[in-house]
């Protein structure tokens, strides 16, 4: 705890609350992350100016990434 100042929350994914792939916890911190890094450009991602959503598990810290559709 203490990684972020605000409280973690549940993430709704199409009607079902998201669960951590690692520990099964359902509370996450949500952050936007820019994808315009040199590494991603190298991988051929033309939409590298987009931002991804990352949800950090409150239980184990695992970061779940979601790309915009
Ligand atoms: Zn977890």
Please check whether residue 42 lies inside any domain of the structure.
yes
Please check whether residue 1 lies inside any domain of the structure.
no
pLDDT per residue, tens digit, the chain (69 aa), is 456 678 899 998 888 999 999 999 999 999 888 776 555 555 665 555 677 889 999 999 999 988 877
What pLDDT sits at residue 39? 57
What pLDDT sits at residue 56? 94
Please check whether residue 62 lies inside any domain of the structure.
yes
How many angstroms does the Cα of residue 45 sit away from the middle of ligand 1? 28
How many angstroms does the Cα of residue 47 sit away from the middle of ligand 1? 29
The residue among 18, 1, 2 whose CA lies nearest residue 54 is: 18
How many angstroms does the Cα of residue 3 sit away from the middle of ligand 1? 14
pTM across the whole model = 0.70
Please check whether residue 52 lies inside any domain of the structure.
yes
Distance CA 69, CA 59 (A): 27
Q: What is the number of domains present in the chain?
A: 1
**Please, are residues 28 and 55 in contact by the beta-carbon 8 Å criterion?**
yes
How many angstroms does the Cα of residue 49 sit away from the middle of ligand 1? 28
Please check whether residue 16 lies inside any domain of the structure.
yes
How many angstroms does the Cα of residue 63 sit away from the middle of ligand 1? 8
What pLDDT sits at residue 63? 94
What pLDDT sits at residue 46? 57
């Amino acid at each position: 705890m203490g990684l972020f100042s605000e409280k973690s929350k549940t993430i709704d994914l199409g009607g079902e609350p998201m669960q951590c792939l690692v520990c099964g916890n359902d509370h996450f911190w949500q952050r936007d992350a820019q994808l315009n890094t040199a590494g991603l450009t190298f991988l051929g991602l033309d939409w590298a100016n987009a931002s991804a959503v990352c949800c950090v598990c409150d239980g184990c810290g695992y970061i779940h990434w979601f790309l915009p559709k």
